[in-house]
Copies of this chain bind each other. A is one copy, B any other.
């Protein structure tokens, strides 16, 4: 007693506990607003707010006209970071190896390097780069977005060239020696929510990847994948 916690939290915590300990398995229905008000002796506002919070956490999903249900958590798709994988937007080969039919389309255009890209490619003055957007789909559903920036003179001209950045650069006498990936999580931008068909409350993993030739960065890309469906695995020899 003397718990001055907001009452909606009592509801949230109780339901969350039931979900995490398995009392409420994936797919199980959550009591409706009306039932919650009775069960927990709270007002409609509190019941409603509790459901919204849980939905925002991605634990439950609401279906209009039907009810709220414990969200099915599909197994995380594993993205293996093989040392020699170098597709412009990575992981496609990896997804294919997991037996998923992956398709991708892309759109290439010249673009001015913004401050962020300029920094990553160590450009000191305004430079026009070849910017390519990739959209990856598995069984029709969008899986992954990527935006790649590279100097105009190295840009891919054929579908074949597009498959290996390392080979393409090598043909220009540039030997890529290192790949650096930086991963963090953030709220999706509206365009990303649309493109990846993200549910509310789902964050994305954002990977900034840069290919280096010695001490010179030669290509950089932003890769965005849904945070609730992907894990990225890095394997490093010691």
Contacts and interface: CB of A to CB of B under 8 A. Distances in A.
Contact of A58 (B81, B187, B227, B232): B187
B183 A83 contact: no
B234 A183 contact: yes
B76 A184 contact: yes
Nearest to A166: B238
A47 interface: no
A28 interface: no
Interface stretch (A34-42, A148-156, A173-181): A173-181
A222 B78 CA distance: 17
A185 interface: yes
Interface string A220-238: 0000000110111111111
B238 A185 contact: no
A183 B231 contact: yes
Contacts of A59: 187
A192 interface: no
Interface in A17-60: 20, 56-59
Contact of A179 (B78, B83, B205, B238): B238
A190 interface: yes
Interface residues of A, number: 44
Contacts of A189: 20
A227 to B, nearest CB: 4
Interface of A: 13, 16, 20, 56-59, 76, 78, 81, 83-84, 86, 166, 176-187, 189-190, 201, 203-205, 211, 227-228, 230-238
Given A183-B183, A183-B231, A230-B184, A238 B76 contact: no
Nearest to A213: B238
Given A183-B183, A234-B236, 8 more contacts: A20-B189, A59-B187, A81-B236, A179-B235, A182-B234, A183-B231, A185-B204, A185-B228
A205 B185 contact: yes
Contact of A238 (B78, B83, B201, B205): B83
Contacts of A83: 236-238
12 contacts: A57-B187, A81-B234, A176-B238, A177-B237, A178-B235, A180-B234, A184-B205, A185-B205, A187-B201, A203-B227, A234-B234, A234-B236
